[in-house]
Amino acid sequence: MAPSAGRPPTRRRLLRGWTALLTGVLLLLGGLTAASPAQAASLTQVTGFGSNPGSLNMYSYVPDNLPANAPLVLALHGCTQSANDYYSHSGWPKYADLYGFALVFPEQPSLTNPIENCFDWGTPSNDGRGKGEALSIYQMIQYAESNYHVDPSRIYITGLSAGAGMTADLLADYPDVFAAGSIDSGPAAQCSTTGITNTNCTSGTTSKTVQQWGDLIRGSDSGYAGPWPRVAIWQGSSDTTVNPAELTYNMDGWTNVWGIGQTPSSTQTLTGGTTENIYNDGSGNPAVETYSVSGMTHGLAVNPGSATDQCGTTGTYYLNTICSSYYTAQFFGLAQGGGGGGTGGLAAPTGVTVTGTTGSSASLSWNAVSGAAGYDVYRNGTLVTSSPVTATSYTDSGLSGGTTYSYTVAAVDSSGTVGTRSTAVSATTTGGAAQCFTDNNYNQVAAGRAHQTLGETYANGSNQDMGLYNLYVTHTLKETSAGYYVIADGTC
| Whether pLDDT at 482 is above 50 | yes
Enclosing H/E stretch for 98: helix 92-99
| Whether pLDDT at 12 is above 70 | no
Q: What is the band of 41 on the pLDDT scale with cuts at 50, 70, 90?
A: confident
Q: What is the band of 17 on the pLDDT scale with cuts at 50, 70, 90?
A: very low
**pLDDT value, residue 1:** 34
Q: How far is CA 182 from CA 87, 153, 251, in A?
A: 16, 17, 11
Share of the chain above pLDDT 90, in %: 52
Q: How far is CA 205 from CA 237, 243, 399, in A?
A: 16, 9, 34
| Whether pLDDT at 6 is above 60 | no
| Whether pLDDT at 470 is above 50 | yes
Q: Is 161 a catalytic residue?
A: yes
Q: Indicate the SS3 state at residue 268.
A: strand
| Whether pLDDT at 18 is above 80 | no
User: 306-311 — which CB contacts under 8 Å span 24+ positions?
Assistant: 307/416, 308/98, 308/387, 308/388, 308/412, 308/415, 308/416, 309/271, 309/387, 311/90, 311/91, 311/92, 311/94, 311/95
**pLDDT value, residue 399:** 79
| Whether pLDDT at 159 is above 50 | yes
Distance CA 413, CA 359 (A): 33
Name the more confident of 421 and 214: 214
| Whether pLDDT at 30 is above 90 | no
Q: What is the band of 345 on the pLDDT scale with cuts at 50, 70, 90?
A: low
| Whether pLDDT at 379 is above 90 | no
Distance CA 443, CA 199 (A): 39
Going along the chain from its start, the domains and CATH numbers come out as: 9-331 (3.40.50.1820), 353-427 (2.60.40.10), 436-487 (no CATH)
Report the range of poorest mean pLDDT among 70-74, 112-116, 423-427: 112-116
Residues with Cβ within 8 Å of residue 472, at least 6 apart in sequence: 10, 440
Q: Indicate the SS3 state at residue 3.
A: coil
Average confidence (pLDDT) over 234-252: 93
Distance CA 160, CA 316 (A): 12
**pLDDT value, residue 204:** 80
Average confidence (pLDDT) over 435-462: 86
* φ, ψ dihedrals at 166, nearest 5°: -70, -35
In this structure, the number of other CB atoms found within 10 A of the CB of residue 425 comes to 19
Name the more confident of 229 and 348: 229
Distance CA 119, CA 110 (A): 9
| Whether pLDDT at 23 is above 50 | no
Distance CA 209, CA 280 (A): 21
187 cis-preceded (ω within 30 degrees of 0): no
Number of residues assigned to the chain: 492
Catalytic residue among 161, 182, 283, 292: 161
Average confidence (pLDDT) over 51-72: 93
Average confidence (pLDDT) over 45-59: 95
Could you tell me which of 138, 151, 36, 165 has the C-alpha nearest to residue 100?
151
- pTM for this prediction: 0.65
Report the range of poorest mean pLDDT among 108-117, 344-353, 408-417: 108-117
Query: Considering the chain, what is the average pLDDT of its residues?
Result: 84
Tens-digit pLDDT profile for residues 116-155:
789 998 888 888 899 999 999 999 999 999 999 999 999 9
Distance CA 126, CA 412 (A): 43
Q: Tell me how many degrees the CA angle 102-107-108 measures, rounded to the nearest 5.
A: 160
Q: What is the band of 20 on the pLDDT scale with cuts at 50, 70, 90?
A: very low
**360 contacts 429 by C-beta, under 8 angstroms:** yes
**459 contacts 476 by C-beta, under 8 angstroms:** no
